[in-house]
Structure 1
């Protein structure tokens, strides 16, 4: 696809996978007349909870991601009297597959904001079990621990790990380098980091293949040898990862959901084509 085609048929490169029960993101993008290219940049591996963690000792279960919910309830169940808090609606929706609903749902912005939103729901003596991935920040436990000054207990347990996929869609990486795309949709900081790593590696190969031309003469060469793609992010945490490379998202979804991200992309592309 050449650059003229890109302007006629917008191309969205998706770096995340969706669940087995439908693909609302793809439906919205394709109904908007755009081409969707699949290029997953993360791979999730569920873990069993640590043997020394007894869920019965905790009256709150805290989740900051859909994968945390899925990994936990694949082997566990909600206990009688146990409350559940989720960072936002997207994470809360994952509970429905297990016949569970959240007692508290945050705004879905950042871990720090979620923790501050949760504080008024807590009572002295509460024991919180925080089920997260291996790359999750410590913002939730840090905020709660500091604010409650020993009045509550919070335990972090890592229930899944995130890694770069063994197989990468090299054609999609090449599309970004050749500027034959419109937007790259990302839903996690790890996807941003993994993609930037792939782009950096590919840019080095390109420079080698072109007799070490200066980066400014390469289609993807800017700044430190490679540029920052046109990202559409699912929220502030993912946007922060983009900004760490000196870039800025073209789109940041106001609501942390695949549906809202897809709708934001459609609105943006329709607006720029007028």
Structure 2
């Protein structure tokens, strides 16, 4: 991940108090409709620093989800509806017109649910390589990865020690017979340390809810898709490079959302913009221009 210089000065952080949890978020003013950024499991709003500068005229809100970053923790409340309720409360309090929601991975699933539940608050959604059902996650390399991450998070080790342990976590990569250590896979100490820093702030219960499927228990994929009427852009990573959204999952989306736009990134894995931001920026800009945002 490439951090922009003086990021905290560009995007001051604030706290929004819901009735349940305090949400940390970064904000930047702008004249164009707001873009609300929602990160993936075990990450923070700073994942979007490679993207945010490209949308210089837009109002920006980048949230730390509950249990992540500097946001508060809530015992045993990490179902998709819990996350969505936080975002809905945030939108109702902070926005005076519908926003674009850009969610990556877990954030993409939350974006879908928010668009279904409060359509008047959502102008469009951009969904980055999300998982639509528990089965597709269980059959991927990520279930094993999340178990490994959970084990090191539970050590409560400080960031530098977490980075060393993170490098040793073994994952099965499509096309390779033997597992590969994350340190070898990432090949970048900065990325590894930033991931470790995210994990140091993570509530382990949020990760456990992914592993035991509690996060997905209340997510009715077809029911959600049927209630979405705003423009939708899907950012699909290459499944052969670790992308979560298969062609079968994409076909399900297209059956219920026949006008959905799809941008396929054959050279990018699940991390998308954390790998190469520019192709993602171009796809998002094209989509937003087409719907006059």
* TM-score bracket for the superposition, by shorter chain length: 0.3 to 0.5
Structure that is richer in helix per residue: 2
- Which protein has greater RCO, CA pairs closer than 8 Å, 6+ apart? 1
- Give the TM-score, by structure 1 length: 0.33
- Give the TM-score, by structure 2 length: 0.32
